[in-house]
């Protein structure tokens, strides 16, 4: 192969060999670096080398070898830390899906590390931004001065005896957390570590997670992402991170100036040592390049027609609301995602993934397809076989809760809506709540799936916090700069008579009562509970239900202002769930008598008789109970009493199985009592009782 082509005055002594087409990306083998880039439609590819992370371009290597649509070269003198990018030559024919423009430096889709500082400029667009012909025009300006560069990474890290915790699903409690927001205001974390991977791995952070009973953290996106131009122009950032630019690189903004990959690995290792799994929220449905009017930063300039779903050649299909959709029906786009997932498991030791807008990853001619190539490929992959896989089962064009195949759990929005509707707005009846409490068999009981396929949540990063659900009837997103037009309007929330903060003791008491009732519901439900960090201690976003651009105390957890009593209550609920295995059964309950008379669950009315079909259909009914039998001789029988009404309820208790019924935990336990075979259940409360032995957590923690 010929030597590197070098701009005048730049280094020209790079040795260049043919290299090999696999693996894709830049691979250090201990002697040199192999570079490989897929592009089916390129006519030529230049590898651009830079002097340091922020330095100027020092050489361009024409990659003359192309094997099976992969362009490749080997540089014996390259080393880890070398910054690089690509300029890809080919047709600029938007009507045919091609948007090649060698004036644009593009990022390697397989970059393991990212260097430089990204600056928004019109030079990033492959066309003349603002011109009348729009994306049909062509822009010849060089964008390298404002563009990120990939960096050759060294995979060396001392993992020691690190092991995946492999926590069974039935024992899992997921804490959804943001790496930065979890520690920014924590006085127990050293100031220099706050907001970083190292801060999240600090013993003070891990102690908080363990105290809450969390067995897994589900981290909001940590794959390298960009702040959208409109946000930057408005003085904001993309706090949540759902705008990916590099699927293999840990976000540098959370590394505190240190090596992101090393610091991320150290965080995972520390969490594993504490028995906590790491689940990543991953965004493979779209990229930071936006629609056809967006910038040329990576995939668009490398092979737009191979990576993206296009509806007429020119225009992007948008299933995310963010402008584009990766085409996972395309073999190389599918390979990109699968290689990325395997990398995070093998090289970064993560334990699972939550797939943002997962229906967009599994499209067929008629929309979402549970037999889509991506889902079949995902489920058979041996590296991913023992990881936790979770789907967000919707996008802007489809909703498919319960429709995913075995092996993939799902966020259950029907559960969220039912719990809020029952406790807050009165729009959910007892029958619907009972379905959700017992694992949503109407959604998940197919193809051998069990109740643990349901990821139960009342709140998540997107929407009101738990505290705000009872303090705001309307969203208050003015700080986002979109005239309060962003964020959902169907929040199923109430304000208990006062919009926002309240001094009235009665209002404050009711808000606390309802919050505890919703939390208790979450922890006694079949399925896998998920709770956002901070919701266990009263975190508020002041009515903002779409705080994606609020990288400030609106989104950060206020540890000094924590509701410690609520935090203790959640810890008690976690202990209750761990102690009583009937609350997390891997199989569906049998509610009908067998010839032997055995039943897993019995539904009860407040009079002590069994619930009838007419009871379930009665819209005025606001109370019921259910008794869980003994899954083994060493466990107590449990009774859960739900009172969604506004007054005290006298609930006749069934005959105990051994010792008298004892209150284990009550969401308003100060007023609950057992006398003369009946429970006095306070208004808007959930009470758990046991017979045969006392459980963990005490009467009311």
Q: How far apart are CA 393 and CA 401, in angstroms?
A: 5
Q: How far apart are CA 597 and CA 599, in angstroms?
A: 7
Structure tokens, 291:
């629609």
DSSP letter at 124?
G
Task: Work out the burial of residue 619: count CB atoms within 10 Å of its CB; fewer than 13 is exposed, 13-18 middle, 19 or more buried.
Answer: exposed
In the three-class reduction of DSSP (H, G, I as helix; E, B as strand; rest coil), residue 123 is classed as helix
Structure tokens, 627:
């008794």
- Matching residue, tokens 């109970």: 625
Q: How far apart are CA 690 and CA 696, in angstroms?
A: 10
Q: How far apart are CA 1 and CA 700, in angstroms?
A: 75
Please give the distance of CA 633 from its chain centroid, rounded to a whole number.
38
Q: How far apart are CA 350 and CA 158, in angstroms?
A: 15
DSSP of 301-328: HHHHHHHB-BSSSSSBP-SSSSS--B-T
CA distances, 298 to each of 124, 269, 376 (Å): 11, 31, 27
Q: CB neighbours (10 Å) of residue 197?
A: 29
Q: How far apart are CA 106 and CA 121, in angstroms?
A: 14
CA distances, 189 to each of 140, 218, 222, 434 (Å): 48, 20, 20, 42
Q: Specify which residues 246 forms β-bridges with.
A: 224
In the three-class reduction of DSSP (H, G, I as helix; E, B as strand; rest coil), residue 3 is classed as coil
Query: Residue 684: CB partners within 8 Å, gap ≥ 6?
Result: 423, 510, 513, 514, 517, 643, 644, 645, 646, 668
- Do the beta carbons of residue 281 and residue 219 sit within 8 Å? yes
Which contacts of 422-427 are long-range, i.e. CB under 8 A and separated by 24 or more positions? 422/644, 423/514, 423/517, 423/518, 423/521, 423/644, 423/684, 424/469, 424/470, 424/492, 424/493, 424/494, 424/514, 425/492, 425/493, 425/494, 426/644, 427/492
Task: Work out the burial of residue 664: count CB atoms within 10 Å of its CB; fewer than 13 is exposed, 13-18 middle, 19 or more buried.
Answer: buried
CA distances, 291 to each of 92, 128, 317, 367, 548 (Å): 16, 15, 8, 20, 20
**Element at 149 (helix H, strand E):** strand 149-151
CA distances, 124 to each of 93, 96, 286, 342 (Å): 18, 21, 18, 31
What amino acid positions are annotated as catalytic residues? 356, 392
**Element at 35 (helix H, strand E):** strand 33-38
CA distances, 201 to each of 255, 266, 538 (Å): 12, 8, 23
Q: CB neighbours (10 Å) of residue 9?
A: 8
Q: CA angle, 423 as apex, 422 and 424 as ends, to 5°?
A: 100
- Do the beta carbons of residue 587 and residue 450 sit within 8 Å? yes
CA distances, 296 to each of 38, 124, 337, 488, 526 (Å): 16, 6, 20, 31, 46
Query: Residue 347: CB partners within 8 Å, gap ≥ 6?
Result: 155
Query: Residue 517: CB partners within 8 Å, gap ≥ 6?
Result: 423, 667, 668, 684, 685, 686
Dihedral angle of Cα 621, 623, 627, 628, to the nearest 10 degrees: 90
């Amino acid at each position: 192969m010929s030597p590197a082509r070098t701009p005048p005055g730049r280094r020209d002594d790079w040795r260049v060999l043919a290299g090999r087409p696999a693996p894709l990306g830049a691979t250090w083998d201990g002697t040199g670096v192999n570079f490989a880039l897929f592009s089916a439609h390129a006519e030529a590819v230049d590898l651009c080398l830079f002097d340091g992370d922020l330095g100027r371009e020092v050489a361009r290597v024409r990659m003359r070898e192309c094997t099976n649509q992969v362009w490749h070269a080997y540089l014996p003198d390259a080393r880890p830390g070398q910054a690089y990018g690509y300029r890809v030559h080919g047709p600029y024919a938007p009507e045919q899906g091609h948007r090649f423009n060698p004036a644009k430096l593009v990022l390697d889709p397989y970059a393991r590390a990212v260097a430089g500082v990204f600056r928004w400029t019109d030079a990033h667009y492959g066309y003349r931004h603002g011109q009348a012909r729009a994306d049909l025009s062509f822009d010849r300006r060089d964008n390298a001065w404002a563009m990120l560069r990939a960096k050759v990474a060294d995979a060396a890290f001392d993992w020691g005896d690190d092991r995946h915790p492999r926590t069974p699903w039935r024992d899992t409690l997921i804490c959804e957390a943001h790496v930065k927001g979890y520690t920014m205001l924590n006085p127990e974390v050293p100031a220099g570590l706050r907001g970083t991977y190292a801060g999240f791995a600090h013993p003070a952070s891990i102690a908080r997670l363990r105290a809450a009973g969390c067995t897994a953290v589900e981290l909001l996106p940590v794959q390298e992402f960009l702040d959208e131009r409109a946000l930057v122009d408005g003085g904001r950032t993309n706090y949540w991170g759902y705008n990916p630019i590099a699927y293999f690189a840990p976000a540098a903004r959370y590394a505190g100036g240190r090596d992101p990959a090393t610091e991320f690995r150290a965080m995972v290792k520390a969490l594993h040592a504490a028995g906590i799994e790491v689940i990543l929220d991953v965004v493979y449905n779209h990229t930071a390049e936006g629609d056809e009017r967006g910038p040329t930063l990576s995939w668009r300039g490398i092979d737009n027609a191979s990576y993206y779903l296009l509806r007429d050649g020119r225009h992007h299909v948008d299933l995310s609301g963010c402008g584009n959709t990766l085409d996972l029906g395309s073999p190389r786009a599918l390979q990109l995602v699968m290689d990325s997932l395997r990398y995070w498991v093998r090289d970064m030791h993560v334990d699972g993934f939550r797939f943002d807008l997962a229906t967009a990853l599994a499209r067929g001619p008629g929309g979402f397809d549970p037999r889509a190539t991506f889902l079949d490929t995902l489920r058979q992959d041996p590296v991913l076989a023992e990881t936790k896989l979770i789907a967000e089962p919707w996008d802007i064009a489809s909703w498919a809760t319960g429709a995913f195949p075995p092996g993939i759990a799902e966020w259950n929005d029907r559960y969220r809506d039912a719990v809020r509707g029952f406790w807050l707005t009165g729009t959910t009846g007892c029958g619907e709540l009972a379905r959700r409490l017992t694992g949503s068999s109407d959604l998940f009981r197919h193809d051998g799936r069990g109740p643990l396929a349901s990821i139960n949540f009342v709140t998540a990063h997107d929407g009101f916090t738990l505290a705000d659900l009872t303090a705001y009837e309307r969203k208050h997103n003015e700080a986002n700069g979109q005239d309060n037009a962003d964020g959902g309007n169907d929040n199923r929330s109430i304000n208990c008579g006062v919009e926002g903060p309240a001094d009235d003791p009665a209002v404050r008491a009711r808000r606390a009562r309802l919050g505890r009732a919703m939390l208790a519901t979450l922890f006694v439900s079949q399925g896998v509970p998920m709770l956002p960090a901070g919701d266990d201690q009263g975190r508020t976003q002041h009515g903002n239900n779409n705080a994606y651009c609020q990288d400030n105390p609106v989104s950060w957890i206020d540890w000094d202002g924590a509701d410690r009593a609520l935090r203790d209550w959640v810890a008690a609920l976690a202990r209750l769930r761990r102690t009583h295995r009937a609350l997390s059964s891997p199989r569906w309950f049998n509610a009908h008598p067998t010839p032997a008379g055995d039943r897993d669950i019995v539904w009860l009315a407040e009079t002590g008789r069994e619930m009838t079909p007419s009871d379930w259909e009665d819209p005025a009914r606001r109370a019921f109970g259910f008794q869980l039998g003994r899954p083994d001789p060493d466990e107590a029988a449990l009774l859960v009493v739900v009172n969604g009404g506004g007054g005290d309820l006298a609930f006749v208790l069934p005959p105990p199985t051994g010792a008298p019924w004892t209150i284990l935990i009550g969401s308003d336990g100060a007023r609950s009592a057992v006398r003369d075979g009946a429970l006095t259940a306070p208004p808007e409360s959930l009470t758990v009782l046991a017979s045969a032995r006392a459980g963990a957590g005490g009467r009311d923690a």
